[in-house]
Chains A and B, each alone.
Chain A
Amino acid sequence: MVDLESEHIKTPDNSRFGFLPVPGSSKGKAEKRLIFREVLFRRTLSLSAIVIIVLLICMFLTLVVSSMPSIKALGLKFIYGQTWDPVSDVFGALPFLVGTLITSALAIAISTPFALAIGLFLGEFYSKNWFSSFIQNAVELLAGIPSVIFGFWGIFILVPIVRSIEMKIGVLPYGVGILTASLVLSIMIIPFSASLIRLVITMVPVNLKEAAYALGATRFEVIRYIIIPYIRSGLTAGVLLALGRALGETMAVTMLIGNTQVIPKSIFQTGDTMASVIANQFTEATGKIYFSALIETGLLLFVITTIINIIGINIIKRFES
């Protein structure tokens, strides 16, 4: 605590400058302490920012360095090779790339209409009554359910359903597979997409909408001709960010995709994603190249999700301004 001499409040009139540092006296001490604390504070703040930068750089470098053995041994074959064989040290990640992309794309396709509906519901139709806060809370709750629980539920509820559908259609009734994983994935990203869409919908300027209403437009027409075009870039960003989220989703997908390292030929077949192959095989990976190949898979996943997320965030930033 700073305490300056003679700063007691009951000072006689002519020494009201009790706070004023008298030149030459212990003013120096109090002021030095103050300056020290100010500088310390500012430096700590800057340090925290630098820590973050260093952290991110180290993260990237670690992944690259640990992937080196695999990069050296496999080169580009890692990306287009279809065989994943730990026994003979041949690792081609194409099945996982395909699996990841298909499940994510399918999840986005299934979830977007629902997310759009929720976004419109909360942002446009019923933004301020008890019904909408109920829906709002429900969506937030949905977002809060852990991935592993979705996977668990999926195994016992969804898989039998899919299995019976598959039997009716006449394909091999695995139950698990691309379709099941995509379904659960889509449920999981709905809240995320919905809140993004709602955000951009509320950013549409009120006077644009009012002008349309004043001309006699119905709500549907305002949505179709005013709101949707206005938020188009925001919607793109929303899709991208949801995609980024879906790509990295691990647990539910691992539990429901069937875990076979081949490129699936239909959505009723089993497959694997980059995240799920890491989750399943990482702790069993003996062998230097095997281990490094899994890390390289992680690196690939990291790079892809980062690029997609950064693009999405930049679009939103541009949309906001």
Chain B
Amino acid sequence: MESTILRTENFNAYFGTSHVLKDVNIAIERNNIIAIMGPSGCGKSTFIRSINRMHELTENATTKGNIFLDGNNIYEMNPTFLRRKIGMVFQTPNPFNTMSIYQNVIAGYTLNGYKLSKADKDVTVEESLVKAALWNEVKDNLHKKGTFLSGGQQQRLCIARSLAMKPEILLLDEPTSALDPISTSKIEELLLSLKDSYTIIIVTHNMQQAGRISDFTAFFYLGELTEWNETKIIFTNPKNIQTQNYITGRFG
């Protein structure tokens, strides 16, 4: 198995005529945490939403160029099947309000019609909640609806839900920007613990967060990938003037 799990080749994304991502070329290795950073509107959300082909669900959204997941061109796969191998966690936690915690975690299987025995389901739910550092807090309330959970707990539930599908890549779009600092640090710890089994790509506005947890950072500016390097190098010795300005806070 090669170590490059995700590779983009001259990738472009559009909303109608607006050119949002310009000729992005990037190669990401397994079992790393990659931070995607940049000022508002630079295309970072569009980038990760293109990885699991969620981008094209928006009206007038189109793409050009290729993305390869483990050597396979994602545009030659059925997008529905692709999304089952890639997990995504959104900025605001969005657990399914009509389902219990248990059902939420296992939702990827039940909604897609996979038949699992009760024993398998129980194991999957427990494993995923443990990995998401939520098991102890909800193990006695698995069959209640998740409305009593705090924001941070709901977000960890969403992470568990994605992990249950055993994805190769976990995409997170500013997962902690709506959360308090304690929940944020819990989730950051959790992501660090997941690094060995998953590849994690996280969009973040928070430079300290990128500095804390990521191995590599991609910096986007106005749709272009202006800098891509190991995090510690970017933060101490950025090559690009925009990166430097962003890091030092000249713009946000």
Tell whether any CB of A sits under 8 Å from a CB of B in the complex.
yes
Does B112 contact A17, Cβ atoms closer than 8 Å?
no
Main secondary structure of the interface of B (DSSP, over half): loop
| B186: Cβ under 8 A from any A Cβ | no
| B124: Cβ under 8 A from any A Cβ | yes
Contact with B along A3-32 (1 / 0, CB 8 A): 110011111001011111100000000010
Contact of A16 among B81, B114, B123, B168 (CB under 8 A): B168
A31 proximity list for chain B (CB < 8 A): 78, 81
| A34: Cβ under 8 A from any B Cβ | yes
| A206: Cβ under 8 A from any B Cβ | no
Contact of B84 among A9, A11, A19 (CB under 8 A): A19
B70 proximity list for chain A (CB < 8 A): 17
B114 proximity list for chain A (CB < 8 A): 2-4, 7
A20 proximity list for chain B (CB < 8 A): 72, 77, 81, 85
Contact of B81 among A9, A11, A19 (CB under 8 A): A19
Q: How many residues of A contact B (CB 8 A)?
A: 19
Does B116 contact A9, Cβ atoms closer than 8 Å?
yes
Distance A19 CA – B113 CA, assembled complex (angstroms): 13
Does B120 contact A9, Cβ atoms closer than 8 Å?
yes
| B145: Cβ under 8 A from any A Cβ | no
| B166: Cβ under 8 A from any A Cβ | yes
| B118: Cβ under 8 A from any A Cβ | no
Given contact pairs A14-B1, A16-B168, A9 touches B72 in the complex (Cβ within 8 A): no
| B115: Cβ under 8 A from any A Cβ | yes
B58 CB to closest chain A CB (Å) equals 17
B interface residue count range (under 10 / 10 to 19 / 20 to 34 / 35 or more): 20 to 34
Distance A280 CA – B176 CA, assembled complex (angstroms): 70
A10 proximity list for chain B (CB < 8 A): 120
A279 CB to closest chain B CB (Å) equals 46
- A31 (CB) vs chain B CBs: closest residue: B78
Does B77 contact A21, Cβ atoms closer than 8 Å?
yes
Contact of A3 among B113, B123, B124, B166 (CB under 8 A): B113
B233 CB to closest chain A CB (Å) equals 31
Does B78 contact A34, Cβ atoms closer than 8 Å?
yes
Contact with A along B93-123 (1 / 0, CB 8 A): 0000000000000000000111110001001
Contact with B along A32-50 (1 / 0, CB 8 A): 0011000000000000000
Distance A9 CA – B72 CA, assembled complex (angstroms): 22
Distance A308 CA – B114 CA, assembled complex (angstroms): 54
Distance A276 CA – B72 CA, assembled complex (angstroms): 72
Given contact pairs A9-B124, A31-B78, A17 touches B115 in the complex (Cβ within 8 A): no
Does B113 contact A16, Cβ atoms closer than 8 Å?
no
B76 CB to closest chain A CB (Å) equals 9
- B76 (CB) vs chain A CBs: closest residue: A23
| A1: Cβ under 8 A from any B Cβ | yes
Does B85 contact A19, Cβ atoms closer than 8 Å?
yes
Distance A132 CA – B84 CA, assembled complex (angstroms): 51
- B69 (CB) vs chain A CBs: closest residue: A20
Does B113 contact A1, Cβ atoms closer than 8 Å?
yes
Contact of A2 among B112, B123, B166 (CB under 8 A): B112
Within 8 A of A (CB), among B44-87: 70, 72, 77-78, 80-81, 84-85
Within 8 A of B (CB), among A238-279: none
- A14 (CB) vs chain B CBs: closest residue: B1
Given contact pairs A1-B113, A2-B113, A3-B115, A17 touches B78 in the complex (Cβ within 8 A): no
Distance A171 CA – B130 CA, assembled complex (angstroms): 88
Does A16 contact B112, Cβ atoms closer than 8 Å?
no
Does A9 contact B115, Cβ atoms closer than 8 Å?
no
A14 proximity list for chain B (CB < 8 A): 1
- A21 (CB) vs chain B CBs: closest residue: B81
B32 CB to closest chain A CB (Å) equals 17
Within 8 A of A (CB), among B6-29: none
B123 proximity list for chain A (CB < 8 A): 9
A7 proximity list for chain B (CB < 8 A): 114
| Residues of A bordering B, CB below 8 Å | 1-4, 7-11, 14, 16-21, 31, 34-35
Can you list 20 A-B pairs, Cβ within 8 angstroms, ordered by A?
A2-B112, A2-B113, A3-B113, A7-B114, A8-B120, A9-B116, A9-B120, A9-B166, A14-B1, A17-B70, A17-B85, A18-B166, A19-B84, A19-B165, A20-B72, A20-B81, A31-B78, A31-B81, A34-B81, A35-B78
